Structure 1
Amino acid sequence: MRLFGLKTCDTCRKALKSLPEAQLVEVRAEGVPEEVLARAFARFGDALLNTRSTTWRGLEPGDRARPPMELLAEHPALMKRPLIEKDGELYLGWTAETRAALGV
């Protein structure tokens, strides 16, 4: 199981504490593999972009209008976190629904 997120993100830390077998992939340092990002965007669409983040608020209006996949490739911290991959399935966020699906 891989958890794509940030080690400084409180939500990611909560998820990691509940999922000790998960491997953290630090998206700022390592990025998200293109194949995983494409599958996540196909599944979650624009919900994959965290428009409440400080990274988003720091973007110019013209940049915000760019395609989401371009923005995520250039600014991995824009991704809603955590993105969890387990057995080929993807889960977004640390919601009650995600926790139930993962058996936590």
Structure 2
Amino acid sequence: MLTLYVIKNCDTCRKARKALDGKGIPYQVHDLRDDGLSAALLEHLLHKVPVMELLNRRSTTWRNLDDADKADIDANKARKLMMAHPTLLKRPLLDTGDEILVGYRDGDYDNLSPI
């Protein structure tokens, strides 16, 4: 079954859910804020998506970080920040089993089919 990683008050996450529901595609939801982010889950995501591609530098969480945390960002520092602040992950993230789709724009899920 597909897993959609979201933050429930995120408008883009709502659009992604609506798209999956409209296609009749079953999925489970994992709210990064409510359900958390374990080290194992982060490593699972990073196995399929480069760490810097997952880091959401446009988020409110990123903007509220200390300048020292944002300076000289590299993969290790980004990984540590994501563990401390799961809302730094770009979202939604759709885990299809084969790949992880990062973000959502209209039409992104058109190639998915109900199981």
TM-score of Structure 1 vs Structure 2, range by shorter chain: 0.7 to 0.9
Cα deviation for residue 38 of structure 1 reads 1.7
For 1:29-70, what per-residue CA distance to the aligned partner results, in whole angstroms no more than 9, with x for missing partners? 112343332232342330101101111100001122461111
Change (3 A) 1:72 1:60: same
- List runs of 5+ in structure 2 lacking aligned partners: none
Measure the CA separation in 2 of the matches of 1:13 and 1:69: 26
Query: Which structure is higher in helix share?
Result: 1
- From 62, 78, 102, give the equivalent of 1:92: 102
Given residue 32 of structure 2, which amino acid in structure 1 is its aligned partner?
V
Structure number with higher relative contact order (C-alpha < 8 Å, ≥ 6 residues apart): 2
Cα deviation for residue 89 of structure 1 reads 2.3
- List runs of 5+ in structure 1 lacking aligned partners: none
Measure the CA separation in 2 of the matches of 1:92 and 1:101: 15
Give the equivalent residue in structure 1 for 2:79. 69
Q: Which runs of 4+ in 1 moved over 6 A?
A: none
| Contact 2:7/2:31 (<8 A) preserved | yes
- TM-score, normalised with respect to structure 2: 0.76
Q: Which deviates the most, 76-85 or 40-49? A: 40-49
How many correspondences in the alignment?
104
Measure the CA separation in 1 of the matches of 2:107 and 2:80: 28
Give the equivalent residue in structure 2 for 1:9. 10
Measure the CA separation in 2 of the matches of 1:18 and 1:56: 27
